[in-house]
Chains A and B, each alone.
Chain A
């Protein structure tokens, strides 16, 4: 149980392109989803917290207009990197947790490796 699917797994595109990454909880309803960014050989950096039906909460230093997050249903959150540039190249990982009632662990997707040329 607790499977999180992230798509696509890899994206290579030209500078200026907008890229959408999907994060789906396959066998549970995710009240909260998280988006992380990870640079090579570094830890995960939380970008934003997304609750279903409400606006995402962004961490300090993360541009809201650059990284658009939509959590339209209890099983789907999307991250759109708008007008991506080479410095946006990174590994993006989403996670989801099932319930606010208990301190459930976050379950992670497989990540999306984004390369902007």
Chain B
């Protein structure tokens, strides 16, 4: 069965600290996609990254980086030099392909960056 686990319910860091948000997934498919979304207090979900199961390259986008490891079924997200504006709930999601393109969301990690 598909499952996404975000074990960290809430994380608090002080501004400029680095922080890693964990995501562990379960799937029987060999082809699947993983996503990260940010949900700020205003409520909208902002797309951050998509990664397919055949691409294990790590990715960096500014202060954001992602580490995808199939061997451990993990897709972790690191924010370097965190800022107050990074405060939000972050969701990891899994989608299998081909299929209905539905997402299985993790329960989210609430990140609080303190000034």
Q: Which residues of A contact B (CB under 8 A)?
A: 2, 32, 34, 41-44, 46, 49, 57, 91, 93, 95, 97, 100, 103, 105-111, 113
Q: Which residues of B contact A (CB under 8 A)?
A: 33, 35, 37, 42-47, 50, 52, 91, 95, 97, 100-103, 105-108, 110
Q: Are A49 and B45 closer than 8 Å at their CB atoms? A: no
Inter-chain contacts of A106 with B (CB < 8 A): 35, 47, 101, 103
Inter-chain contacts of A109 with B (CB < 8 A): 44
Smallest CB-CB separation from A108: which chain B residue? B45
Q: Are B95 and A108 closer than 8 Å at their CB atoms? A: no
Q: Are A111 and B102 closer than 8 Å at their CB atoms? A: no
Inter-chain contacts of A113 with B (CB < 8 A): 43
Instruction: Tell me the smallest distance from the CB of B105 to a CB of chain A, in Å.
Output: 5
Q: Are B43 and A97 closer than 8 Å at their CB atoms? A: no
Q: Are B95 and A46 closer than 8 Å at their CB atoms? A: no
Q: Are B102 and A49 closer than 8 Å at their CB atoms? A: yes
Instruction: Tell me the smallest distance from the CB of B26 to a CB of chain A, in Å.
Output: 16
- Could you say which of A43, A100, A108 contacts B44, with CB atoms under 8 Å apart? A108
Beyond the given A95-B45, A110-B42, A113-B43, please list 12 additional residue pairs across the A-B interface where CB-CB is below 8 A: A32-B101, A41-B110, A42-B108, A43-B106, A49-B100, A91-B43, A93-B44, A93-B45, A97-B101, A103-B101, A106-B35, A108-B46
Q: A91-B43, A108-B37, A108-B45 are in contact. Are A43 and B100 (CB under 8 A)?
A: no
